[in-house]
Amino acid sequence: MSLPATGRSLGLLVCLDCRLTVRGVKLPRLQCPRCHARLHERKPHSLAITTVLLISAAVLYVPANLLPVMDTRTFFDDENDTIMSGVLVLLQSGSWPIALLVFIASIVVPLLKILALGVLLYSAWRRSPRGRLQRSQLYRMVEFIGRWSMLDIYAISLLATLVQVQTFASIIVGWGAWAFGAVVVLTLFAARTFDERLLWDAPRHD
């Protein structure tokens, strides 16, 4: 069976910034002649960098969910909310579509992203030839949904700005929000440093 013609087998490179096809020359620093972006056959150290970012995100996912994201102080009580209890508050106040939205964006999506990137990394590292199309589609889904996890950060920032001491209560941001923001940013970077093409590279013969 002949292998399909790829950029690597033809000695061609594609610029990921402007999509120009460039003849690959063995130079230490290759630049795109059109947009001057650095060119690489594959993103450099893709697997190692993505692994580090992903492990950091997975570690921070724990405090992001256990520490309070906001502390609501009124005259009568003092209420610490984690992300999950925030979802429950929304559910109790009867707005279940919004509760579901926050649950998906803040709890399901980050977890799914971490797990999916883990699977992709492992299979790219093993150069497994099975289910490549599905894995490629999984990667594209991870890339697409990633930004929606920022939703809770925006909601918290608005709440903390609006509800201040001058009014009836105050909302103080908790360290959980910081950890959560870090998880979102780390997974966004992890998805971008991962080179999809590694999923399709020919398996090692050894």
Partner 1 sequence: MPPVILCPACDLAHRRTATPSSGRTRCARCRAPLQRPESAAIETAIALGLCALVLFWLGNAYPLVAMHVGGSSRATTLMGAARGLYDQNYKALGALVFLTTVIAPLLQVTALLYVLIPLWRKRTAFGQNAVIRLLTRVRLWSFMEVFMLGALVALVRLSKFAHVVPGIALWCCGLLMLCLSALASVTSPEQLWRWAVGSQE
Q: List residues near partner 1 by CB under 8 A.
A: 4-10, 12-14, 16-21, 23, 34-37, 86, 89-90, 93, 95, 98, 101-102, 105, 132-133, 136-137, 140, 147-148, 150-164, 166-168, 172-173, 177-178, 181, 185, 192, 196-197, 199-201
Going through 52-199 in order, the beta strands assigned E by DSSP cover 70-73, 78-81, 170-173
For residue 173, list its beta bridge partners: 70
Tell me how far, at minimum, the Cβ of 127 lies from partner 1, in Å. 14
How far is residue 10's CA from residue 4's CA, in Å, rounded to a whole number?
10
CB 83 within 8 A of CB 149: no
Nearer Cβ to partner 1, position 66 or 202? 202
Nearer Cβ to partner 1, position 58 or 183? 183
Tell me how far, at minimum, the Cβ of 151 lies from partner 1, in Å. 5
Q: List CB contacts of 188: < 8 A, sequence separation 6 or more.
A: 146, 147
Q: Which of 150, 154, 133, 158 is nearest to 187 (CA)?
A: 150
Nearer Cβ to partner 1, position 130 or 168? 168
Tell me how far, at minimum, the Cβ of 55 lies from partner 1, in Å. 20
Nearer Cβ to partner 1, position 111 or 172? 172
Q: Which of 188, 200, 189 is nearest to 42 (CA)?
A: 200
Nearer Cβ to partner 1, position 32 or 114? 32
Tell me how far, at minimum, the Cβ of 115 lies from partner 1, in Å. 21
How far is residue 183's CA from residue 101's CA, in Å, rounded to a whole number?
19
Tell me how far, at minimum, the Cβ of 100 lies from partner 1, in Å. 11
